[in-house]
């Protein structure tokens, strides 16, 4: 019995350093959360790639950091960092004051802007929008006002000419029509010459109408051009404010969602990921997707059917960084940030960005 106890204690004492080492290694293994966010982190044939993940791998390799990856949604990743279930985020996270209260950030490694993705307008739709411009209330109101002015000057011309130029103007409805015809022809400078004023009063009216018509037709042309331009701009949605009364879609808990809320965009539909947003856009549940421009550009690059368009709108500059839990060792946080800075200034980082069509 004594021998068995002695052997047990001997084996235990020999294996104690090894057990301690394994325990220490388990404690030092970081849990690294990530969210698939192309092009920074993407999955190709079951393999995770992207410049953000590459940057973390270089940091971990340099400082011999043991880690395990856990894939999750953006909202889950933020909560996990806050509660300490995840030590580091390998996905790029926008630095905001609200997030900084819940967890820490490394130094930023990329600056991005938000932008807007819309369904591509077909040639048929553009033609219909153009036709609708001529069917607007404003267009018919302007046309009616112009017809009224033509009628007034046509009536005045007929009034002075009806008794002295009966063969060209005459009496009754036919004479009024001839006056209207003369007024329209004069305004458009067609100059058929089939009806000409012969009385002094008629010529004075004609002289006034010639100069007045030039001003009216110039203003009318400018009004039509302006109306068509405004309608075209509205259909193209060339400014972010044009979406104030439209339904935006964005990723839940993203920096873009916070910016839209802070800037009083009330019609915002939040979804867990881009796949759900694209589905909502295709089903006309939303009018446009507001999100980080690099991610929208990557989506557009893979849009082989050209179903979408990325507007030339940039707003909400965002600084991307890795998130780290609050109680992570300060020394380790400093090492991670310093290592990130070293690799960010290297040529390898530029090559990684260029590989995914990203710019510093």
Q: What is the mean pLDDT of each run of 10 residues along the chain (360 residues)?
A: 49 46 53 94 91 95 94 94 95 94 95 92 67 69 84 89 84 86 86 83 89 82 62 56 89 93 91 93 94 93 88 92 95 94 92 88
* Rounded CA separation 223/189 (Å): 19
**Architecture per CATH, 128-236:** Orthogonal Bundle (1.10)
Residue pointed to by tokens 């003369």: 182
Token duo for residue 60: 């971990």
For residue 330, the model assigns a pLDDT of: 94
**Where does 119-125+239-316 sit in CATH, by number?**
3.40.190.10
d(CA 143, CA 359): 52
Map out the domains of the chain as residue ranges. Answer: 2-109+322-355, 119-125+239-316, 128-236
Fold category of 2-109+322-355 in CATH: D-Maltodextrin-Binding Protein; domain 2 (3.40.190)
Residue-level pLDDT at 26 = 37
Question: One fold for both 119-125+239-316 and 128-236?
Answer: no
For the question of whether the overall pTM of this predicted structure is more than 0.85, the answer is no
Percentages of the chain per state (helix, strand, coil), in multiples of 5:
55, 15, 30
pLDDT of residue 217: 79
How distant, in Å, are the alpha carbons of 9, 11, 13, 18, 222 from that of 5? 6, 10, 12, 21, 104
For residues 271 and 75, the answer to whether their CB atoms sit within 8 Å is no
Per-residue confidence (pLDDT) for residue 96, from 0 to 100? 93
Model pLDDT, residue 27: 45
């Amino acid at each position: 019995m004594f021998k068995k106890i002695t052997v047990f204690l001997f084996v235990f004492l020999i294996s104690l350093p090894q057990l301690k080492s394994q325990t220490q290694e388990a404690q030092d293994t970081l849990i690294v959360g990530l969210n698939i966010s192309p092009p920074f982190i993407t999955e190709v044939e079951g393999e995770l790639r992207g410049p953000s993940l590459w940057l973390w791998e270089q940091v971990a390799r340099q400082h011999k950091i043991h880690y395990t990856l856990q894939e999750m949604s953006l909202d889950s990743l933020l909560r996990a960092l806050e509660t300490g279930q995840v030590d580091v985020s390998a996905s790029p996270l926008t630095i905001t004051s609200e997030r900084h209260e819940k967890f820490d950030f490394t130094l930023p490694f990329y600056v991005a802007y938000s932008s807007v993705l819309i369904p591509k307008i077909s040639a048929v739709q553009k033609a219909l929008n153009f036709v609708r411009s001529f069917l607007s209330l404003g267009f018919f109101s302007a046309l009616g006002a112009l017809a009224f002015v033509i009628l007034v000057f046509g009536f005045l011309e007929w009034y002075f000419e009806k008794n002295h130029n009966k063969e060209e103007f005459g009496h009754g409805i036919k004479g009024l029509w001839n006056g209207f015809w003369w007024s329209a022809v004069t305004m458009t400078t067609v100059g058929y010459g089939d009806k000409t004023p012969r009385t002094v009063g008629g010529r004075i009216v004609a002289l006034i109408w010639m100069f007045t018509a030039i001003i009216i037709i110039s203003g009318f042309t400018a009004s039509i051009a302006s109306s068509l331009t405004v309608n075209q701009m509205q259909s193209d949605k060339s400014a972010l404010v044009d979406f104030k009364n439209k339904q935006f879609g964005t990723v839940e808990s993203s920096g873009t969602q916070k910016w839209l809320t802070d800037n009083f965009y009330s019609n915002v539909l939040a979804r867990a990921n881009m796949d759900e947003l694209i589905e909502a856009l295709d089903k006309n549940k939303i009018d446009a997707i507001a999100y980080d421009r690099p991610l929208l550009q990557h989506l557009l690059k893979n849009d082989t059917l050209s179903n979408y368009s990325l507007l030339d709108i940039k707003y909400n500059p965002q600084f991307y960084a890795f998130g780290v839990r609050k109680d992570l060792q300060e020394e380790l946080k400093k090492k991670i940030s310093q290592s990130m800075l070293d690799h960010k200034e290297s040529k390898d980082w530029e090559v990684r960005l260029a590989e995914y069509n990203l710019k510093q």
